[in-house]
C-alpha cells in the first residue's frame, strides 16, 4: 500500500478526534414532535374498517327534522282520504291502517306522533272519533237525494246556490250524480263571469204555463223609443208601481264652500301694543 495514502489517513483521523462532537438525544418512545395526521371522518351511512359500527343509511331528505317531508306525508294522507270518500268509502280508519293504505309504513315514530297529536287533529279536512279518522267534506251529503235537499234548504233560506267545487268534493261519484240531477231537472248550473260554476235548486213551483198568444204579444212589444222615465210614468197611470233604484247608485262628491269675496281678506297683525314706538327708516336708506 502507498505510504502517502497511509499518512493522509492518519492525519485525517487526528483532525477528527480533535474536533468535539455533540450527540442529539433520541425522543422517547410514544412521544413525537410532529403533529399526528388527521383522520378523515366517515360520511353518513358508512363505518370505519375494522369497527363494530353498522351503517345507519341516513337520508337527509327523509330526516325527522325535515318539515317538507312531514307535510308531504300529511298531504298524501288527506288526498287519499278524500279520494276514498268520493268513491263511497265512509268508514273511518286508524293511523296504522291509513299508513298501510298509503304505503308509508316506513314512517318514523317521531313523524307518526306528529301526525297523531298535531297534524291530523288540527286539519280542517279530517275528523277524529274513537281513535279513527275520516274525511270531512264541505257539506255532509252521502247521495243525490241529500244533495237536492241541501240545495232546496239553501234556496228557501235565500242563501242562493252552492259552488260546484264544494259539490264535487261533498257528493260521492259527483260527476255521474250531477249529470243525472241536471237531466232530471232537479238542479240548474250557472257560470259566473270568473268562469266558476254555481249549482242552484230548480224550484218547479215557479214554472207557469203561458199560452203562445201572450208570448207573441210580449215579444212584439217594443220599448226602444221610450226611456225609463216615460216607462215609469206609464206604469204609474196604469196603477203599477215600478222598481226603483235598480241601477248603480251615483255618489256625488261634496261641494266645497266658496270663499266670501265680498269682504276683503283679513290678515292677522302683530306687535300692536308698540305701534306708537315703531319708526319708518325706509327714507334713511336713500
Q: Is the distance from CB of 209 to CB of 174 less than 8 angstroms?
A: no
Distance between CA atoms of residues 208 and 198, nearest Å: 24
Distance between CA atoms of residues 205 and 176, nearest Å: 26
| Distances, alpha carbon 97 to alpha carbons 100, 133, 282, in Å | 5, 10, 104
- Beta-sheet pairing, 126-129 with 162-163: unpaired
User: Which string of b and e fits 115-126 if b means at least 16 CB within 10 Å?
Assistant: beeebbeebeeb
> Among residues 25, 43, 41, which one has the least CA distance to residue 33?
25
For residue 127, give the H/E element and its range.
strand 126-129
Query: What's the confidence (pLDDT) of residue 137?
Result: 93
Q: Which architecture does CATH list for 144-206? A: Orthogonal Bundle (1.10)
Query: What's the confidence (pLDDT) of residue 53?
Result: 45
Would you list the domain boundaries of the chain?
67-135, 144-206
User: Which string of b and e fits 60-98 if b means at least 16 CB within 10 Å?
Assistant: eeeeeeeeebbeebbeebbebbbebbbeeeeebbebeeb
On the question of a common fold for 67-135 and 144-206, the answer reads yes
Q: Is the distance from CB of 115 to CB of 74 less than 8 angstroms?
A: yes
- Beta-sheet pairing, 187-191 with 162-163: unpaired
Low-confidence ranges of the chain (pLDDT < 70): 1, 20-65, 242-272, 275, 277-286
Query: Model-level pTM?
Result: 0.50
- Here the cell at position 234 is 206609464
What is the maximum alpha-carbon separation in the chain?
Answer: 163
Query: What's the confidence (pLDDT) of residue 58?
Result: 42
Distance between CA atoms of residues 28 and 199, nearest Å: 94
In degrees and rounded to multiples of 5, residue 72 shows phi and psi of -65, -40
Q: Is the distance from CB of 15 to CB of 9 less than 8 angstroms?
A: no
Q: Which architecture does CATH list for 67-135? A: Orthogonal Bundle (1.10)
Spatial neighbors of 92 by CB under 8 A, at least 6 apart, are 127, 129, 130, 132, 133, 134
> Among residues 87, 88, 105, which one has the least CA distance to residue 96?
105
Amino acid at each position: 500500500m502507498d505510504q502517502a495514502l497511509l499518512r493522509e489517513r492518519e492525519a485525517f483521523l487526528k483532525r477528527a478526534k480533535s474536533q468535539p462532537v455533540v450527540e442529539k438525544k433520541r425522543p422517547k418512545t410514544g412521544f413525537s414532535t410532529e403533529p399526528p395526521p388527521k383522520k378523515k371522518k366517515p360520511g353518513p351511512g358508512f363505518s370505519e374498517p375494522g369497527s363494530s359500527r353498522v351503517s345507519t343509511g341516513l337520508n337527509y331528505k327523509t330526516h325527522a327534522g325535515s318539515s317538507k317531508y312531514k307535510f308531504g306525508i300529511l298531504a298524501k294522507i288527506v288526498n287519499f282520504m278524500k279520494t276514498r270518500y268520493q268513491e263511497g268509502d265512509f268508514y273511518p280508519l286508524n293511523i296504522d291502517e291509513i299508513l298501510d293504505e298509503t304505503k308509508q309504513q316506513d314512517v318514523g315514530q317521531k313523524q307518526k306522533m306528529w301526525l297523531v297529536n298535531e297534524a291530523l287533529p288540527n286539519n280542517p279536512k279530517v275528523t277524529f272519533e274513537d281513535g279513527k279518522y275520516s274525511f270531512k267534506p264541505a257539506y255532509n251529503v252521502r247521495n243525490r237525494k241529500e244533495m237536492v235537499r241541501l240545495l232546496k234548504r239553501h234556496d228557501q233560506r235565500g242563501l242562493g246556490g252552492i259552488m260546484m267545487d264544494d259539490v264535487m268534493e261533498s257528493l260521492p261519484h259527483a260527476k255521474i250524480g250531477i249529470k243525472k240531477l241536471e237531466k232530471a231537472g232537479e238542479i240548474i248550473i250557472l257560470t259566473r263571469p270568473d268562469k266558476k260554476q254555481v249549482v242552484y235548486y230548480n224550484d218547479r213551483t215557479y214554472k207557469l204555463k203561458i199560452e203562445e198568444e201572450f208570448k207573441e204579444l210580449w215579444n212584439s212589444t217594443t220599448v226602444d223609443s221610450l226611456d225609463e222615465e216615460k216607462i215609469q210614468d206609464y206604469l204609474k197611470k196604469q196603477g203599477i208601481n215600478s222598481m226603483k233604484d235598480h241601477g248603480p247608485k251615483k255618489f256625488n262628491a261634496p261641494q266645497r264652500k266658496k270663499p266670501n269675496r265680498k269682504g276683503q281678506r283679513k290678515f292677522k297683525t302683530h306687535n300692536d301694543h308698540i305701534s306708537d314706538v315703531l319708526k319708518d327708516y325706509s327714507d334713511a336708506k336713500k
